[in-house]
Structure 1
Amino acid sequence: MAPMALALILGWCLVAASRTQHLPQPSLSLHPSQGVSLGDNVTLRCHVPLPAARVRLYKDGCLSSEKNVDKVQDTAEFFLVDIKQEDAVKYWCQYQILEPLWTSNMSDPVELRVTDHSYPPPDISLSPDECVKVGMNVTIQCQNQKYEGIVFLHKDGHSAPVQHQEPDGGGTATFTLFAVTPADSGTYRCSYRVGGCWFLFSPLGNNVTLEVTMTHAPPGTPKHPDLTGDTRGPHWNPVTAVAGGCAAAIVFILLLVVSFLLFARRQQIQRDESPGASPRSPNAVQFQVPPGDCEGLTYAELRPVTPGTCNPGPSAVPEPPIIYAEVGTGRPC
């Protein structure tokens, strides 16, 4: 009998778990979501994606309140009046439908952060406090006096703290901003958490203002660069630079081509002038002048022949060549 009861219970749990997976998850929001102090009123709104019969609000994991809603409502509101320290915890919501009887999963938690003005605000300091340039490291120290809760660093314009840290034994937290940029400029404040398990915070302390300036330009750099933001020269133009680079590359390639052609021509001439080279034309005739004294002269007259399309007839009589004899004067060289 006991095994059968155990099987029924397990089966019911599995069915319930499978049903919850089929229902969309609700969402919970706080109004107002920040700047809440002790004694204020807060509204928690649970948004249900399906028509629900009942919506439940859980506080710090325990059922706090539930509300029946009709089928035309998609939001259930829960009111917290005169906020107290114990209200500064996490909240969830959940909804249930009747046909069939299914229950959704829990929503994502929301944290109700409450400021307790009975605690003194922390002190804050900035180092260096002036002439901060791009790339420098900046240190912000927050002192929460005798309270040892977590210290939070806030920046104006951000809804959530930008950093948090456990203080040292003296109650001081040191935040370092590495290699700052103009985006780090702004107003900073600190707060600390005073509750052990509550989201209870001290008031924001005094502020410090960080101004990050650009580094000075090196000597010779114009003070007013052009609209492109380049500081390499007063008239530097990227289009001109690219065109100049292309022109230089083309000239370099042309020089390489000319050098290669000259080298090939020289190699061809050397092959033609080598002893074993064959004559350029089968009809070429070589003439050698016999050696003589320094004033001996030998002349040979070669009559130019104009090439034609017709061969000379048989009646053509070749003219004898004219030979110039060597004449010696008898004088020694």
Structure 2
Amino acid sequence: MDQEQDVAEFSLAGMMKEDSGTYQCQYQGLEPARTSQKSDPVELVVTDHSYPPPSISLSPKEHVEMGSNITIQCWNKKYGATFLLHKDGHSAPIQHQEPDDGGTATFTLFGVTPADSGTYRCSYRVGGSYLLFSPLGDNVTLEVIPRPAPPRDNGGASRDLVAVVVGRWVAAIVFIIILTISVLLVAQRRQMQRDERPGATSRSPEAVQFQVFPGDSEGLTYAQLQVVTPSTHPPASSTTPEPPIIYAEVGTRGPR
């Protein structure tokens, strides 16, 4: 453009595959007269409809649940170089892949979500040209089904409340049992300490009666004797010793 202006517009009519490439702009100032640096580059991609579009397939199926892995394959055995995967609504390809020996490129979507739902197409870059591509091929549509929300358990809160109440009752019962046992043990210990004190009264001896049937050959008659049951406690000391007492009655018969 030779005229002085702030904006310049360039048109390319009758696009040909040779027009594909990288473009930049620059301007020339008047005062002082010098040329600016080049602008950032832009790439012009040309679609050549003389090349057949690629084929496409989707597996395992078009309607899948969240978290599934999806495989999309694109192929063109004769012309395919680098394959590109397009999704409607996106200006640029979302993936690119080199084909295998059979001319097939495999794109994998891992753990799909509802955001992956949409329409997909493929194209390929013609061999030997960086910005010359085939037209878009047929499309496949992917629908990702959200997982249903787990059913709400209305009785869960009630069961939790019952569990809390039962747990508190059990804890209270255990506490009462432990407290009762502790009181009994303390009472028993105090009783044993009283029994071990000097001058403590021992238990009453048990009376046992020994009787000899009439007609004893010696003619002896035994009175009632008291037998003292041995105690496990040491004998209590006393300042005044008590004399031992023996109760016995002996009877004899004269000679006949």
Query: Could you say which TM-score interval applies, normalised by the shorter chain?
Result: 0.5 to 0.7
1:75-224 → structure 2 map (5 Å cutoff): 76-82=7-13, 83-93=15-25, 107-129=39-61, 132-194=64-126, 196-213=128-145
Cα pair 1:88 1:114 within 8 Å, conserved: yes
After superposition, the C-alpha distances for 1:53-105 in whole angstroms (9 at most, x for unaligned) are: xxxxxxxxxxxx89854xxx5xx333132233233223344678889999987
Match of 2:224 in 1: none
Displacement after TM superposition at 1:251 (Å): 3.7
Distance (Å, rounded) in 1 between the aligned partners of 2:34 and 2:161: 73
Distance (Å, rounded) in 1 between the aligned partners of 2:165 and 2:35: 76
CA RMSD, 1 decimal: 4.0
Q: Which runs of 5+ in 1 are unaligned?
A: 1-64, 216-224, 280-285, 294-333
Q: Which runs of 5+ in 2 are unaligned?
A: 196-200, 209-256
Distance (Å, rounded) in 2 between the aligned partners of 1:104 and 1:111: 21
Decide which of 266, 276, 280 is 2:192's aligned counterpart: 276
After superposition, the C-alpha distances for 1:138-195 in whole angstroms (9 at most, x for unaligned) are: 3222112311421011122222212110112222111222333443332221101126
Cα pair 1:271 1:277 within 8 Å, conserved: no
Match of 1:319 in 2: none
Greater Rg over alpha carbons, structure: 2
Q: What amino acid maps onto 1:151 in structure 2?
A: F
Q: What amino acid maps onto 2:192 in structure 1?
A: G
- Residue 236 (structure 1) aligned with residue 156 (structure 2): no
After superposition, the C-alpha distances for 1:230-283 in whole angstroms (9 at most, x for unaligned) are: 23xxx623xx6346425523542453244124303311221112243469xxxx
Displacement after TM superposition at 1:210 (Å): 2.7
Q: What amino acid maps onto 1:123 in structure 2?
A: S
CA, structure 1 residues 130+261, in 2 after alignment: closer, same or farther (shift >3 Å)?
same
SS of the residue corresponding to residue 210 of structure 1 reads strand
Q: What amino acid maps onto 1:230 in structure 2?
A: P
Higher relative contact order structure (alpha carbons within 8 Å, sequence separation ≥ 6):
2
| TM-score of the two chains, using structure 1 as the length reference | 0.48
Displacement after TM superposition at 1:289 (Å): 7.0
Displacement after TM superposition at 1:205 (Å): 0.9
CA, structure 1 residues 264+127, in 2 after alignment: closer, same or farther (shift >3 Å)?
same
Distance (Å, rounded) in 2 between the aligned partners of 1:126 and 1:252: 56
| TM-score of the two chains, using structure 2 as the length reference | 0.61
Cα pair 1:86 1:198 within 8 Å, conserved: no
SS of the residue corresponding to residue 149 of structure 1 reads strand
Distance (Å, rounded) in 2 between the aligned partners of 1:244 and 1:67: 85
SS of the residue corresponding to residue 236 of structure 1 reads coil
Q: In terms of mean alpha carbon deviation, does 89-98 or 120-129 score higher?
A: 89-98
Distance (Å, rounded) in 1 between the aligned partners of 2:3 and 2:131: 26
Percent of counterpart pairs with the same letter?
51
SS of the residue corresponding to residue 177 of structure 2 reads helix
Cα pair 2:77 2:103 within 8 Å, conserved: yes
CA, structure 1 residues 122+66, in 2 after alignment: closer, same or farther (shift >3 Å)?
farther
